[in-house]
Copies of this chain bind each other. A is one copy, B any other.
Amino acid sequence: MLNKNISAKLLIHCPDQSGIVASVAEFVHKFKGNIIHLNEHVDIEEKTFFMRVEWELENFTISREEIGPIFLNEVGDKFKMNWNIYFSDDVPRAAIFVSKLNHCVFDILSNTFSQNWKLEIPLMISNHNDLRELAEKFGIDFYYLPITSENKTEQELKQLELLEKYKIDFAVLARYMQIVSPDFISKYQNRIINIHHSFLPAFPGAKPYHSAHQRGVKIIGATSHYVTDDLDAGPIISQDVVNVTHKDSVKDLIRKGRDLEKLVLSRAIYLHINKKLLVYNNRTIVFE
């Protein structure tokens, strides 16, 4: 009963053609897996097929290690699939990059330490010392790596060493306020999650609440996305909004935005951890 209550999650994308669902479902069925979730999506314009299938491993007749090779042989190659397999007892490891603001961090801590999420956070990195105390309260190693235009390359190398050392699977920029270099990004493609405090693509860049106030919008938003070289233009994972009025000063927008930012970032982390995301053509497929 090694795999009791454990499920396998298979994420797939490939050129669309008929017979894919049947083949994948047949593969799971053949080895006595019970499908508990199956989502598929066809992008008609791109003629591309996307799928997430989750099945119980309890009576599955092949071992975890065999699933990949056998799937590749029986199904994956035939349909030229791009695929990954995960298991529900995986516990990914995240590094949190922060600056001075703590609301997103608190929400991440809340979800992690209450075990809502299966996640370990061994590492926090910051260009300020403000959140050291908070990190230490929760037993997270905190590294103060202040960044200037002179030392940026060097500090990023230290950051990368830390990610390596702590065996980090993905990084969260929790209002980190620094631009990450293309080199860094290339090493963690689709594994760096950022929160931007506007309803992208409106108000990219710095000071979006000031811009929103200036423009007189009636709704503000927050956007979580994977980081790409193109600033604030990476694949959007989640967005949410809140109503504002002429009575709201910039300070009010910042206050109202805090709740949005933390929720939208936490939703993205939840989806990432639970392997409910595929990225294709700079857009996300969210299997909810």
> Which A residues are within 8 Å of any B CB, using their own CB?
18-19, 21-22, 25-26, 28-29, 32-45, 50, 101-103, 106-107, 109-111, 113-114, 116, 137-138, 199-203, 215-219, 221, 235-241, 243, 245-247, 249, 255, 258-259, 263, 266, 282-286, 288
A-B contact pairs, 10 of them (CB 8 A): A21-B35, A22-B22, A22-B29, A35-B40, A38-B38, A102-B114, A106-B114, A201-B203, A246-B284, A246-B285
Q: Give the interface SS of chain A, mostly helix, strand, loop or mixed.
A: mixed
The CA-CA distance from A249 to B239 in the complex, in Å, is: 18
Question: How far is it, in angstroms, between the C-alpha of A103 and the C-alpha of B216 when the chains are bound?
Answer: 27
Kindly report how many copies of this chain are found in the complex they form together.
Answer: 4
* Beyond known contacts A106-B109, A200-B202, A245-B286: 17 more, CB 8 A cutoff: A18-B33, A22-B22, A38-B38, A38-B40, A39-B39, A50-B246, A102-B114, A103-B116, A106-B106, A116-B255, A137-B138, A200-B215, A215-B283, A218-B238, A219-B241, A247-B288, A263-B263
Please give, as numbers and ranges, the residues of chain B lying within 8 Å of A286 by CB-CB distance: 218, 245-246
Chain B residues near A110 (CB-CB < 8 A): 102-103, 106-107
Taken together as a complex, chains A and B put the C-alpha atoms of A210 and B33 apart, in Å, by 29
- Give the complex CA separation of A199 and B258 in angstroms: 20
Is the beta-carbon distance between A219 and B239 smaller than 8 angstroms? yes
